[in-house]
Amino acid sequence: MKNFVVGKGDFLDLIDRTVEDGKDVVAPVRQENQANFRRIKSTKEILWGGPQTVIPPKAFLFPQEEELVEYEVDGEIRIKATVEAKPVVLLGIHPCDINGTALLGKVFAEKNLDENYLKKREFVTIIGVECLIPCSPESFCYRKESILPWEGFDFFLTDMQDNFFVEVGSKKGESLILGVAKEATQSDVEKLKKIRRERDNLFNEKQRELKPKLGDLPKQLRENYDSPMWDERGARCFNCGSCNMVCPTCYCFDVRDCMELNLRQGNRSRFWDGCLLTDFTRVASGEIFREERGARLRHRTNRKDWYLFEKWGKSFCTGCGRCGKACLTKIVDPLDIENELWERKGQK
């Protein structure tokens, strides 16, 4: 794919025109003292270079509540599968979230195709933006090699003061930008390289260190399955599930039926669920198959940095830092956990 350069004003005009045409454009905006994704009416609302949004952009592909089936029970039963998707431009997506979304795409497209997710994905345009300063003290994307997107964006912007450097990731992205951008020159590419060198140095200096090697995380977790650390941290867990809700790669869901007041029409929807919640493994007989809080914390961590990491070749923690920020008792941060396991091993 080719690279382009676009004037900032020209790019913002393009987006404003898209909004005026009635298309949905979603971008991070400031809400209170936090960042959140919202449908924008003008590019003036966009929060550039802010902290990570409270809820990741997965909410637009895998909503907190999503209808799967609707039915009518009126003598006969009629069932209709629901697949809702409409075009949305997701703008200002950080690399950690582009990568998180790419990982979700893999699991929902594995074997039993989840059309509810895949159809939405087809209709979504992802415009990423490079982070040039760490977005928050909790983030550690640089340590998870997630400072740049691996795949799964339509185009990706890097701020070059007057211009954006535009890396195109799809045909859809190219056709969108083609009218307003010009092809990047060698000197633009050189300038980008310099920005990224400086960015690397800054992130390396500012972000907390990951002590074990990234590729060693599955092995470290395997070796520490029985570490007392899990119960020590677990003892402070409130079972609130916040870490699951804010994670760009947590995709577990509950399924519930809901009837209209007429008791004839109803639907079956899925809702975000979380493996840190007490009832996550509870069956009708009352048996809970993962009863210990420490075991639940271990399961979540292992899923990110072991089970799914080994299966897909990429850590399912992209270092966005949301869980560490959301956790009330500061037990869940995967970087903290990995470092603690590494340090304890050193002491033995």
Q: How far is the CB of 218 from other proteins (least distance, A)?
A: 10
Q: Which of residues 26-65 bind other proteins (CB under 8 A)?
A: none
- Which member of 200, 257, 329, 343 binds other proteins (CB under 8 A)? 257
Query: Nearest CA to 142 among 196, 191, 218, 223?
Result: 196
Region near other proteins per CB under 8 A, out of 27-35, 37-45, 199-207, 259-267: 259-267
Q: How far are the Cα atoms of 23, 143, 285 from residue 46, in angstroms, in the given order? A: 16, 27, 50
Q: How far is the CB of 342 from other proteins (least distance, A)?
A: 21
Q: Is 261 in the site for other proteins (CB under 8 A)?
A: no
| Contact predicate 71/79, CB 8 Å | yes
Q: DSSP secondary structure string, 121-171?
A: HHHEEEEEE--SS-S-TT--GGGGT-SS--S--SEEEEEETTEEEEEE-SH
Nearer to other proteins, 311 or 344 (CB): 311
d(CA 244, CA 248): 9
Tokens matching residue 3: 């690279």
Q: What DSSP string runs through 195-249?
A: HHHHHHHHHHHHSPP--S-GGGHHHHHHHTTT-THHHHHHTT-----HHHHT-TT
Instruction: Select from 22, 32, 44, 111 the one that contacts other proteins (CB under 8 A).
Output: 111
Q: Does 263 bind other proteins (CB under 8 A)?
A: yes
Q: Tell me how many residues contact other proteins (CB under 8 A).
A: 50
Provide the minimum distance between the beta carbon of 339 and other proteins in the complex, in angstroms, as a whole number: 23
Task: Tell me the closest approach of the beta carbon of residue 291 to other proteins, in angstroms.
Answer: 10
Relative to beta strand 253-259, strand 24-31 is: unpaired
Q: State which residue, 164 or 309, has the beta carbon closest to other proteins.
A: 309
CA distance 245 to 249: 10
Say whether residue 219 binds other proteins (CB under 8 A).
Answer: no
Question: What mask of x and - would describe binding to other proteins in positions 307 to 336, judged by CB under 8 A?
Answer: x--xx-------------------------
Strand 88-93 relative to strand 124-129, pairing: parallel
295 binding other proteins? (CB under 8 A): yes
| Site of interaction with other proteins (CB under 8 A) | 68-69, 71, 73, 77, 79-81, 83, 107-108, 110-116, 225, 251-257, 259, 263, 266, 268, 270, 273, 275, 280-285, 287, 289-290, 295, 299, 302-303, 306-307, 310-311
